[in-house]
Structure 1
Amino acid sequence: MKRCDWAKSGNAAMKDYHDTVWGVPEYRDDYLFRKLILDINQAGLSWQTILNKSEAFDEAYANFVIEKVAAFDDKKVTELMNNAGIIRNRRKIEAAIQNANCVLAIQQEWGSFANYLWHFVAGKPVVSGFKTAIEVPATTALSDEITKDLKKRGFKFVGSTIIYAFLQATGIVNDHLTTCFRYEEIIEETMDKKS
């Protein structure tokens, strides 16, 4: 099976992530929030590092239940700073709490975090159709637009590169290479769900 270049050299967990999660359209708010926080924590690190720590992240961040993370206090921040299983970066930890509160505000306004995110693409995944990894950008006009709006809403640690990785991972953008076996599968799965 041909995979996207970034997944070819990864371990079994990376290949499984590529094959079953990455690029699949996601509409569950807790999962979208989880992926956003994991992508924020990836900044400056490899995705393999975050993937290896994902279970520890789930445990440390209350399975990314948005209301629970929004209620984290200074004592919890200290606890997380002492947790060797996750990325111990105070700015990233504080951003998770701030961003959880921002997601709650979006849910009040839009009904769900998913509704808000998917409105930027009129509810339909962007299919890039790149043939080679070198064509895949680090940012796009879409990630710039969403980043600007998130920052306006008070989100922290959300640059356009982080947001573009988030859009790719959650299937808002399908950036599987056209040579990858998942490219067509995801397009077909998305069409099947709509019909």
Structure 2
Amino acid sequence: MTRAKFFLIVLVCSFSWYLLPGYLFTTLTSISWVCWVFSKSVTAQQLGSGLRGLGLGALTLDWSAVSSFLFSPLISPFFAIVNVFVGYVLIVYIVTPIAYWGVHLFSARRFPIFSSHLFTAQGQLYDILAIVNNNFELDKVKYEEEGRIHLSVFFALTYGFGFATIASTITHVGLFYGSKHI
């Protein structure tokens, strides 16, 4: 068998393998019994949905969803998996619900709990094209007319934690390795 034929066979097989869960039957990516049982409850959808919520009680039959958080749990060391899992639980199941339902951080309940979209202060989708001119630059006058851009609480928190992670990594390296050379 030639390399090209082998490549085409693998290409067709991997495309077909992804086509079922990734495109035709996306329910396989997140099966949530919480959403099925409480189908009319917005809070249950926010808690149970694995695609648009916190994913409590959600199961998956899609390997790409299982392996997406740390490339592959089969090749990562156990301490790395536990470290990522603890951080995930802390942010998704403790900090985000407290910020959303408890503290009502950033007027959180006006927006979805988990979304990458931008919103107006009233919770509507933000029209980005209204504040950008023909050169794709921010038009400050139109921005003042439209109002501030708002993020979902999860998106805002993960941005903040991401910047804090970068700063803490630099600080850790400086303190851990820099102190040995003084």
Fold-level similarity (TM above 0.5): no
Rg comparison, structure with higher value = 2
Length-normalised TM-score, structure 2: 0.29
* Larger relative contact order, structure 1 or 2 (CA cutoff 8 Å, min sep 6): 1
